[in-house]
Chain A
């Protein structure tokens, strides 16, 4: 059974750009361990006979290459916290 340790939490938090408190780290260590152990129960299934190829009977739905404009920028930008002149504005990327 996999146990998520503090080091893994630090690594994942860094990748996700999350700044966690010690209490949160403790909480997530426990929660993620529970989740991964639940998912690990899938490993008991025998999938040696299952291949991607089995999906071959099902056709991939393709789209023809026909451009369409289906949305108005005005509406799409409505839910952005800080639209600016048609752009999405985002905070400073590099710290000084």
Chain B
């Protein structure tokens, strides 16, 4: 990794293009399934194979998802937009053109606020169809392969391409922008937000310039990042690389670069020779798209609570730390779980601690999602109550939680059936403590002589006798009184 020098101060100028696969059941212009992982070309038809004479018909749901996402990004929704043909020749595009939106996109002029105070303006978001997939035979990648195999199951899957203005100022901001975008699409339910499987793909445009300079430097475009972490690392690497080139008197070549996860470097993919000649023209097979005000308003009313609204609610109404709020916002199902459990649980701070602590750790180690566990919001609320009213010790609560996650059930019932309640009855415990002291006169004498650590021995005896269910604070207190 190149070192960032200190003589001239540089600033980064970053813009993101994000492709969001809209989670419709069928394709954008034909009824084939959008299912992932099927046998090659099973979900194809004359429309997405580009057979002559086949006509596209627009999927209504895809339009609704595009509008919802546009609204969540504070965009203006065009009551009139249209589709255009973007031409290029590549085997993953059977028609030799992609149906996209060129000069009249469905969403324009939006923005997203970042925690740093930066407002990232969104230039536009337009609908388009995805291309197919290629398998290159005889080599690892495209280079050196003898021939290629085309699978067009993905061809025609609806995408929304979201183009930001170059308002992002650091690698960390680029990551936050992408994380927020992923949260938003998940909250809306318009995309599963899974970057590893390609449901969300992102190109990062980066240039650097001396601080204070108004014109932009030459930019490079980085592709192939499959996590938010990779975006941050790739941007960091690329900023440092460009600064080093400029510092040593060189100049940046405008190019597409690939992020290599294994080596944590960006590598040259292809040098750009001017704007590609896409020969856009209006798609004659599709009418202009009219979206009425009423339709837009109806979709606006259907919008769920968005991630930033949830964050604000947790922090200002419930007084969460920003750290806890982030966990429950970024992992939507944990926030949903909290919201479902909270009405049954006055001690909601303890609830949050369980969710952000033990439960998050469990999900990470077991590589599970909340839905894979047997724990219900009611059961967790009950567990918190049992702990808060001292019916069970925190050790017992932990044990019980592990069981609830694996097997489910009602904590109150389990505690009762297995007699797991902690003994907090002073009379009962006092009797036990007296017996243990009487049976171990030697150790009792040692304690009286000032050997503090012997106390642990007595606590251990009591815990063994009660199978861990004695209230430890009370045991300690009684021992000190009675020895």
Binding site for B on A (CB under 8 A): 11, 15-17, 52-53, 55-56, 58-71, 73, 76-77, 84-94, 96
B26 to A, closest residue via Cβ: A67
Contacts of A58 in B (CB 8 A): 287
A43 CB to closest chain B CB, in angstroms?
Answer: 16
Closest residue of A by beta carbon distance from B28: A63
Contacts of A60 in B (CB 8 A): 58, 286-290
B57 at interface, CB cutoff 8 A: yes
In contact, B146 and A67 (Cβ under 8 angstroms): no
B341 within 8 A of A: no
**Shortest distance between the CB of A65 and any CB in chain B (Å):** 4
Question: At the interface with chain A, which of B37-45, B311-319, B425-433?
Answer: B37-45
Q: Assess whether B34 is in contact with A67, with CB atoms less than 8 Å apart.
A: yes
A-side contacts of B80, CB under 8 Å: 52-53, 56
Chain A residues with CB under 8 A of B210? none
CB-nearest residue of chain B to A53:
B80
- Assess the B91–A65 pair: CB atoms within 8 A: no
> Are A56 and B58 in contact (CB-based, < 8 A)?
no
Complex Cα gap A30–B148 (Å): 37
- Output the least CB separation between A57 and chain B (Å): 10
Looking at the assembled complex, report how far the CB atom of B33 sits from the nearest CB atom of chain A, in whole angstroms: 4
B25 touches A65 (CB 8 A): yes
A77 to B289 alpha-carbon distance, docked (Å):
33
Contact call A90/B150, Cβ cutoff below 8 A? yes
Is there an interface contact between A93 and B43, defined as CB atoms closer than 8 Å? Answer: no
Cβ-defined contact, B149 with A88, below 8 A:
yes
Smallest CB gap from A52: residue in B: B288
Complex Cα distance A59/B291, Å?
A: 10
Q: Which chain B positions have C-beta within 8 A of A84?
A: 149
Stretch at the interface among B60-68, B451-459, B462-470: B60-68
Chain A residues lying within 8 Å of B147, measured Cβ to Cβ, are: 89-92
CB distance from A96 to the nearest CB of B (A): 7
- Given the known A-B contacts A68-B31, A86-B39, are A73 and B148 also in contact in the complex, defined by CB atoms under 8 Å? no
- Number of residues in B with C-beta < 8 Å to the partner? 51
Beta-carbon nearest neighbor of B43 in chain A: A69
CA distance A35 to B136 in the complex (A): 40
Among the listed stretches B10-18, B137-145, B164-172, which one makes contact with chain A, having 4 or more residues with CB under 8 Å of it? Answer: B137-145
Given A63-B58, A67-B31, A69-B43, check contact A87 B143 (CB 8 Å): no
Q: Is B289 a contact of A87 with CB atoms below 8 Å?
A: no
A60 CB to closest chain B CB (Å) equals: 5
State A94–B62 Cα separation when bound (angstroms): 35
Closest to A64 in B: B60
For B343, what are the chain A residues with a Cβ–Cβ distance below 8 Å? none
Contacts of B46 in A (CB 8 A): 71, 76
In angstroms, Cα B136 to Cα A96, docked, is: 14
Looking across the interface, which residue of chain A has its beta carbon closest to that of B33?
A: A67
Q: With A65-B25, A66-B31 given, is the CB distance from A52 to B82 under 8 Å?
A: yes
- Distance in angstroms from B298 CB to nearest chain A CB is 15
Across the interface, do B59 and A73 meet the contact criterion of CB distance under 8 Å? no
By Cβ-Cβ distance, the 7 closest A-B pairs, closest first, are A65-B61, A87-B149, A62-B60, A67-B33, A88-B150, A68-B31, A67-B26
Which chain B residues numbered 141 to 190 have a C-beta less than 8 Å away from chain A?
Answer: 142-152
Which residues does chain B contribute within 8 Å of A65, judged by CB atoms? 24-26, 59-62
Contact between chains at B277 and A11 (CB < 8 Å): yes
Q: Residue among A70, A87, A93 with the most chain B CB within 10 A?
A: A87
Distance, CA A11 to CA B82, complexed state (A): 28
Would A87 and B62 count as touching, CB distance under 8 A? Answer: no
A34 CA / B25 CA spacing, docked (Å): 47
**Bound-state Cα–Cα, A38 to B119, Å:** 51
- Name which residue of chain A comes closest to B289, CB basis: A60
B135 an interface residue at 8 Å Cβ cutoff? Answer: yes
Contact of A92 among B60, B146, B152 (CB under 8 A): B146
Set of chain B residues within 8 Å of A85, measured between Cβ atoms: 40, 149
Q: How distant is A19 from chain B, measured CB to nearest CB, in Å?
A: 14
Flag if B143 contacts A73 (CB, 8 Å). no
CA distance A79 to B45 in the complex (A): 13
Q: Are A93 and B287 in contact (CB under 8 A)?
A: no
Q: Does B49 contact A (CB under 8 A)?
A: yes
Q: Which of B31, B82, B89 contacts A63 (CB 8 A)?
A: B31
Q: List 16 A-B contacts (CB under 8 A).
A: A15-B279, A55-B288, A63-B57, A65-B61, A66-B25, A68-B26, A68-B31, A69-B33, A70-B45, A76-B49, A77-B41, A85-B149, A91-B147, A92-B147, A93-B90, A96-B144
- How near does chain A come to B345, taking the closest CB pair, in angstroms? 38
